[in-house]
Structure 1
Amino acid sequence: MITDIKAYHADKKDNQCLQDITGRLKDRLHHQGLIWRNCLADTGYSSGENYAFLEAEGLESFIPPHGTYKGGPKGFVYNRTEDHYICPQGEVIPFKKVFLDHRTQTKKKEYRSSSKQCKGCPLASQCLGRTAKEKKFSVTYYREEYERNNKRVNSERGSYMKGKRQSTVEPVFGTLTQFMGLRKINTIGIAQANKVMHLSAMAYNLKKYLKFT
């Protein structure tokens, strides 16, 4: 059954809509006496902010990370207790600051070595490039949340959840676009678009209900 549907403007990414959907849907399910324990979604809804938000809401996320996520530079080992990285040559790359990436509008943590640490390193040319004198890189502020989510996604239960999403959630979109009039919305304005989407969801749910009864 479709329990929530809404049209959004196309000026933001899917992952920026997840928190609004979650707040609305959680109240609705609670009102119906239903307990919501986990959240399945595709990679488009992946972000550290969303993982942290879902954890705060008491929900387990099974959302595959986007391809750009990296837990740190290749070959560098993260020390969780001290919050620093250790390079392949054994040098400690300490945490420096938290900043907002203005391009992606996400919080990140910067790690940076000193020029003394990198001077004379046999890997300097491939690690630093031509002009840099010290190693500097940034990692998502929500690294721990990413790692917990990824562990769930890559587990046996995560594989089951992926199959469940592909077999029960994704076919709904195909049905809505092919049979319920959502291939193209010909109305003007977000309010009218929402009417079309709600009517399509109502038709879908009525069809399911009639089959069930």
Structure 2
Amino acid sequence: MKNKYTDIVNELTDREIMFHLVATQVLLIVISLILGFFLFDDLSSFWELLKWDDAKVWTVGVVSGLVIVNVDLLLMRILPSSFYDDGGLNQRLFQSKTVWQIAAIAALVAIGEEVLFRGVLQTHFGLVITSIIFALIHYRYLFNLFLFINIVVLSFFIGYIYEMTDNLLVTIVLHFIVDFLLGVMIRFSRKKSNQRGGKTNHE
């Protein structure tokens, strides 16, 4: 099953991968709008979840994102590379993007996923149900036990942060920090690898 998924990723062009990403996030936003229409009393009830003047956006959101990224980096150093094998999708997604494009992708994903999972679902159905759904929707990680456990723990952690801060903006910023920094690292690790290869060939 995993090999089949990897083959599918390899057959897609970079444009197709980007299209599927954007389409998925647009779908999540549409689902949020539909569910939100029935679950919230009015639009202002949703906007109250976003507290712009809350210092926890920076002290909790940014700091938590940096902690997650550093834990990931540590695990990447001490664990076999196969533990982080997602079929090559993240590599294909970020390796040829500029920093601004990576930021746009990270913002789109952070907003799309956090609005649906924390803003709509967790607000009305609780932490456990939402975290399980969040983990399962990242279906590509089902092919790798470590990555699946990783996304389950991450999901519960982000959900817990939302519970503690009661501010959707905190988890959006947290999610953005994680995706942006990991995307940038993939981009520049690829560039560094190419430079080393070019130097070797030149010599």
Q: How would you bin the TM-score normalised by the shorter chain?
A: under 0.3
**Relative contact order (alpha carbons < 8 A, sep ≥ 6): 1 or 2 greater?**
2
Normalized per residue, the structure richer in helix is 2
Normalized per residue, the structure richer in strand is 1
The two structures have a TM-score, normalised by structure 2, of 0.21
The structure with the largest alpha-carbon Rg is 1
